[in-house]
Structure 1
Amino acid sequence: MSQTSTEISLIELFDFLKERKVGAVKMMGISLLIGLIIAFTTPKEWRSYSEFIPESTNNSGVLGGALGGVAGLAGLELGEGQDGTFNPELYAAVLNSTPFLMNFLEHETYFESIGQEIKVRDYLKDHLKTSLVSRVIGFPKRIQNIFSSKGGSSLSDEAFDPGIMKIGREDIDLIETIKSRIGVDYNKGTSVVFVSFTMQDPMASAVLTEYIIEYLTAYVSDYQTSKQAKKLQFIQGQVKRKEVSFLEAQRALAAYRDSNLGLSNNLAQTELKNLQSQYDLEFNLYSSLKLQEAETRIKVEENTPVFKVLEPVKVPVERFKPKRKMILIIAITLGFLAWVLFVSIKFIIRTQLSPRLLGKGKAND
């Protein structure tokens, strides 16, 4: 019985909707108009991107193994430990870090749309266009910022720790804008890294995408090679100092031999042996350091990551936003659904609630 009444109700609802189909046309027309306003007041955006694979080269090479063997014969221990590689899943954290974003704001690039080279910060403040919807939605926040900036307290520069970054409200808003325009994705299965940047200038979008990738690759390379690079720098300093003492011992031995030719007394032979021992010691130390320098240099090269580019950065031809067809389809769909919801509620009130209220009224009489 209930199933039959439900079917009848659905049929009645369908007939009720059909009788008011003119309202559906009006609602979808209004939604279409709103969609047109949104679609054609939203500024055009272009997105540049690149895809690459970070190839880790962290294994000991053939030459490194050979030098290790020679060093072993000399009684040296050069070490075979490997440095950890930078996890690609942290690439997004690097590009969302405040130091990078502050440097990014100060980076100068050429914006074709305005015909001049300016800082990213200045372009975002003075030339970045916003949509009508964004202005309407962001109006309360702008009013709040005006009042909060008037009543806010500020720290004096003398009392501020120079080791801590001091960022103003304006920079915070600009940083959030940059974050929303940077895209980073890492595919674990294919090991492909996708980096993109969206801007209202196609040429600037490509140039800034290239800048982001250069910063990221330099950061990763420095992370993986910094330990061995510092070790190499230290060893090179030791090699230079030891080379001086080795050459001094070499010259002292040669000079003594030249000035004491034909002498065979015990005193001369003892002095010669002492100079020879000093020379041998300096030679062994100098040779050991040169081996360590060569081994460390190889480790620096091995730990330097290689980035294989699959898709290079290109100047975009087609706009990324706004997707006008999609906006219009969504607007019409939402308008139709809103009409169905409104009419259905009206139908329920008329067929379900009104009879009950009338029944209660008669019972009270």
Structure 2
Amino acid sequence: MSNENDALVRTDHDEEEIDLLEIAAKLWKSRRTIFTYAGIAAIVGLVVAFSIPKEYTTTIKLAPELSGNNTGGAGKLGSLAAMAGINLNSASAGADAVMPPLYPDVLSSGPFLVGLFDVPVTESKTDSTYTVYSYIEDHTSGTWWGYLFGLPLKAVGGIVSFFRDEDEEEGGDGTTNPFRLTKDQQEVKEALAERIVCSYDEETGVNTISVTMQNPLVSALLADTVAAHLQAFITDYRTSKARQDLAYANQLNEEARKDYYDAQQRLADYLDRNQGLSLHSAQVTRERLTNEANLAFSLFNQTSQQLQMAKAKVQETTPVYATVEPATVPIKPSKPSKPMILIGFVFLGAVMACAKILFSDTINSVKKIITQ
């Protein structure tokens, strides 16, 4: 029984080898067809590769200071701040709402992207300066097939816009309103969202900002601007409470200064008018004015300390960013990868040729059955 099973296994194996040899022989016999398909695919691949505009990517790596680093500095001033009635630790704890893992969400948010519309950038080829909005909308080219397939949509959009209210389409006075963007502004915002990418490395805590544009200088300038805007946004957010406290402390200090100067002036005027008087009423009034001046000075001194602590708190809560990799103008384009496109098309052409050769008989049989 075992001998019969071994014989069946060998027979199946021989049949598989024979089938593979037949397939290989069939393909080799039609190698001209395969080479022809591969050659045509290579030509198509070259056309596609050279039709795609070059893109240049600039990468910036930022290592932001973690909020935990701020608590050490706040602890050194903790006792002095407590005397002035200010809790630096609570301020630092409240500044943790926007952490480095959330920076990618900040960069992809609508207000942040809309805030980049008016940023000026300079193109290296023509040495012309445009806004980011103008460069994306008017000076960024696409593929010819993109324009070809987009013509019907543009025609329909033109017909629809013709019957639409002009003020509704243009957004009123033509200004950018992040709450209500026009169709063109929404498209530019989506294009920026695709070209500006931020990622966070949990192991190193480094944020990587990548900006891809069709001009290397524009890519580098916009990447540097994006990093600066991100740092300004995070700094403004984390120091907003401290700056509000500083403004309030400054207001209290100015009011205490005015009250102290007024009390001093009232005491001086009284002493000038009542020199040499030994009446008890005059002594009581002098003591009262003196106490008022001393109390005003005490309040002024206390608010001055609070003002200094508020200034220190703003400094303590201001984050520090270490630029691990600054923006540089890229030399080589990041895409398209012409060799990979060419290899992919050649492989696809060869596969299509092999499929046609191997399944030609089956396809002909199906056609005969259908036509009968």
TM-score normalised by length of structure 2: 0.83
Match of 1:35 among 45, 63, 80: 45
| Matching residue of 1:220 | 234
Corresponding residue of 1:65 = 78
Deviations 1:146-196 (A, max 9, x none): 3443454666578xxx98733221222222222221121111111111112
Matched, 1:174 2:188: yes
The answer as to whether partners of 2:114 and 2:178 remain within 8 angstroms in 1 is no
Distance 2:160 2:339 in 1: 40
User: 1:104 maps to what in 2?
Assistant: 116
SS in structure 1 opposite 2:115? Answer: helix
Distance 1:100 1:349 in 2: 57
Distance 1:163 1:203 in 2: 28
Q: 1:54 aligns with which of 41, 60, 64?
A: 64
Is 1:249 matched up with 2:273? no
8 A Cα contact 2:49 2:342, kept in partner: yes
Corresponding residue to 2:23 among 13, 38, 45: 13
- 1:211–1:27 distance in 2 versus 1, CA, 3 Å: same
1:197–1:79 CA distance, 2 compared to 1 (3 A) = closer
Aligned-CA RMSD value? 3.1
Alignment of 1:1-365 (within 5 A): 1=8, 3-4=12-13, 5-56=15-66, 57-59=69-71, 60-61=73-74, 64-71=77-84, 76=85, 78=87, 80-81=89-90, 82=92, 83-85=94-96, 86-152=98-164, 165-257=179-271, 260=274, 263-346=277-360
User: Comparing 286-295 with 143-152, which one deviates more in the overlay?
Assistant: 143-152
SS across alignment from 1:58 = helix
Separation of aligned partners in 2, 1:130 and 1:17: 39
Instruction: Judge conservation of contact 1:16–1:347 (CA < 8 Å) in 2.
Output: no
On the 8 A contact 1:67/1:291 being kept in 2, the answer is no
Q: Distance in 1 between matches of 2:354 and 2:177?
A: 60
Distance 1:152 1:335 in 2: 47
Indicate the SS of the match to 1:105.
coil
Deviates more, 1:255-264 or 1:43-52: 255-264
Counterpart of 2:70 in 1: which secondary structure?
Answer: coil
Worse-matched range after superposition: 145-154 or 216-225? 145-154
Match of 1:65, as an amino acid?
A: G
Alpha-carbon displacement from aligned partner over 1:20-42 (angstroms, at most 9, x marks no partner): 22221111111111110011122
Q: CA deviation at 1:79?
A: 6.0
- Structure-2 change in CA distance of 1:163 and 1:151 (3 Å): closer
CA distance in 2, matches of 1:203, 1:163: 28
The answer (yes or no) to whether the contact 2:49–2:336 under 8 Å persists in 1 is yes
Secondary structure of 2:130 counterpart? strand
Identity of aligned residues (%): 27
**Judging changes above 3 Å, is the alpha-carbon distance between structure 1 residues 164 and 27 closer, same or farther for their aligned structure 2 residues?**
closer
- The answer as to whether partners of 1:13 and 1:347 remain within 8 angstroms in 2 is no
Residue correspondences, number: 350
Aligned AA for 1:84? A
Mind listing any 5+ residue stretches in structure 2 that lack a counterpart?
Answer: 1-7
Alpha-carbon separation, structure 2, partners of 1:79 and 1:272: 41
Q: Match for residue 4 of structure 2? A: none
1:15, distance to aligned residue in structure 2 (A):
2.4
For normalisation by structure 1, the TM-score amounts to 0.84
